[in-house]
């Protein structure tokens, strides 16, 4: 048994969580900044950093209190120290290093992307204070598809899908991960945000387009599916986004606003866009699964909450693992849980741990060497 306090500040959510033995979530507190960034239709780094400074201490305090424990009973401090916005990362890393030094506890730096993949191992009974739009959980499609299995089978295809990441990984086990495909332009979540802006639907775009797509006809407007080369595992969503822009606003000389479209037309565009995204994702999962002879699929990141994607993968030929909904978007529980692997192995980080904007994943990335 090990109680690990996790801290998250990679982008615009300030999170803290206490996790027992790498799976059992005792608290998961998230202070969202959506209202601060909505007017800009995206995250403003300076605003995010200032909000983290205001939120970090209250969020950590609430996580400890909700878990029914005390700081001196925590066994280690974990923090997502890469990748992310440098100003945001510095707040969380500084807080974690300060706590580790003051309490005399081990410090464990984890990769945020790696933590998203590991989040499928978390239990489904968190204590959450999340100010985020959460999908309607009454739909059975939002449950973990592979109810008959408790853990993924390896080798597995891992996918991290969010506003900042769209990448595929070969996972031999949760300590050995290799990047095999990534986006050459927009991340899929970023495309959702941009299309939402085109349609005048607000920020963030993922939840609103996903909901609207349920009422639209995905066949009414067919957008392109960019698969790149026949064997490519990389992604490109920029062309799809541009196709939506041209459909909605027209070409030069006949521009129009999204407000000129009816509600049903906007729903059809949302449905057609989402169908194109999902077709590309599923096609790439198929390619990757064949390439590495996968036995399961692991999906993490904010887009893993998408009901259209979950419904499509309900028919996939391999077991598919999603995180519980509370752990799809950025949170500290996944970092605390992943840190348990390092804690058990005695791999701790120095107090000189850096905040780094890029992921530690590379072509031959081996997570067993992390942290250093």
How many CA within 13 A on the CB side of residue 62?
17
How many CA within 13 A on the CB side of residue 108?
31
Residue 365 has pLDDT above 60, yes or no: no
pLDDT computed for residue 144 by the predictor: 42
Contact in structure between 36 and 201 (CB atoms under 8 Å):
no
pLDDT computed for residue 368 by the predictor: 46
Contact in structure between 275 and 225 (CB atoms under 8 Å):
no
pLDDT computed for residue 79 by the predictor: 98
pLDDT tens-place string over residues 263-310: 999 999 999 999 999 999 999 999 999 999 999 999 999 999 999 999
What phi-psi label fits residue 209: left (phi over 0), alpha (psi between -120 and 50 degrees) or beta? Answer: alpha
Tokens read off for 21: 């033995």
Q: What is the CATH number of domain 3-132+329-369?
A: 3.30.420.40
Residue 257 has pLDDT above 80, yes or no: no
Tokens read off for 310: 């979950």
Q: How confident is the model at residue 254 (pLDDT cuts 50, 70, 90)?
A: low
Mean pLDDT of the region 318-331: 95
Task: Give the Å distances, CA to CA, from 166 to 107, 116, 131, 280, 287.
Answer: 29, 12, 24, 12, 15
pLDDT tens-place string over residues 43-96: 888 898 999 999 999 999 999 999 999 999 999 999 999 999 999 999 999 999
pLDDT computed for residue 124 by the predictor: 64
Tokens read off for 84: 């992310």
pLDDT computed for residue 132 by the predictor: 40
Choose among 300, 342, 291, 302: nearest CA to 322.
300
Contact in structure between 11 and 82 (CB atoms under 8 Å):
no
Choose among 119, 111, 93: nearest CA to 337.
119
CATH superfamily, domain at 140-325 = ATPase, nucleotide binding domain (3.30.420.40)
Rounded distance between C-alpha atoms, residue 260 and residue 31, angstroms: 36
- Please tell me the least confidently modeled range out of 127-131, 192-196, 285-289, 291-295: 127-131
pLDDT computed for residue 100 by the predictor: 98
Rounded distance between C-alpha atoms, residue 160 and residue 158, angstroms: 7
Cβ atoms within 10 A of the Cβ of 286, count?
16
What do you get for the CA distance between the two ends of the chain, in Å? 23
Residues facing 168 on adjacent strands: 159, 181
Mean pLDDT of the region 152-175: 95
The ranges assigned to domains in the chain are: 3-132+329-369, 140-325
Cβ atoms within 10 A of the Cβ of 109, count?
27
pLDDT computed for residue 358 by the predictor: 87
Tokens read off for 224: 């392109």
């Amino acid at each position: 048994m090990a109680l690990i306090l996790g801290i998250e500040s990679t982008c615009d959510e300030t999170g803290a969580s206490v996790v027992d033995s790498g799976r059992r979530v005792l608290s998961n507190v998230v202070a969202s900044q959506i209202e601060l960034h909505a007017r800009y239709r995206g995250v403003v780094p300076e605003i995010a950093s200032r909000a983290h400074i205001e939120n970090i201490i209250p969020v950590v305090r609430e996580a400890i209190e909700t878990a029914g424990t005390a700081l001196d009973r925590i066994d280690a401090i974990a923090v997502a120290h890469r990748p992310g916005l440098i100003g945001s990362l510095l707040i969380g890393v500084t807080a974690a290093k300060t706590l580790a030094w003051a309490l005399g506890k081990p410090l464990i730096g984890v990769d945020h992307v790696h933590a998203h993949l590991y989040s499928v191992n978390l239990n489904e009974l968190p204590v959450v204070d999340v100010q985020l739009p959460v999908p309607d959980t009454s739909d059975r499609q939002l449950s973990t598809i592979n109810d008959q299995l408790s853990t993924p089978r390896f080798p597995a295809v891992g996918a991290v899908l969010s506003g900042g990441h769209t990448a595929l990984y070969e996972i031999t086990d949760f300590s050995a991960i290799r990047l095999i495909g990534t986006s050459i332009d927009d991340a899929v979540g970023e495309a959702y945000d941009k299309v939402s802006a085109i349609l005048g639907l607000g920020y963030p775009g993922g939840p609103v387009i996903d909901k609207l797509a349920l009422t639209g006809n995905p066949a009414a407007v067919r957008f392109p599916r960019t698969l790149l080369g026949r064997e490519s595992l990389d992604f490109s969503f920029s062309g799809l986004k541009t196709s939506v822009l041209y459909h909605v606003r027209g070409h030069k000389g006949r521009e129009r606003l999204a407000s000129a479209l009816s509600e049903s037309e906007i729903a059809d565009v949302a449905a057609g866009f989402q169908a194109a995204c999902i077709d590309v994702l599923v096609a790439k999962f198929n390619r990757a699964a064949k390439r590495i002879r996968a036995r399961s699929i692991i999906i993490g990141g904010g887009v893993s909450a998408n009901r259209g994607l979950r419904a499509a993968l309900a028919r996939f030929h391999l077991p598919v693992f999603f995180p519980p909904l509370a752990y799809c978007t950025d949170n500290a529980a996944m970092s605390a849980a992943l840190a348990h692997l390092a804690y058990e192995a005695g791999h701790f980080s120095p107090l000189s741990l850096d905040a780094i904007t890029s992921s530690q994943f590379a072509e031959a990335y081996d997570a067993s060497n992390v942290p250093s």
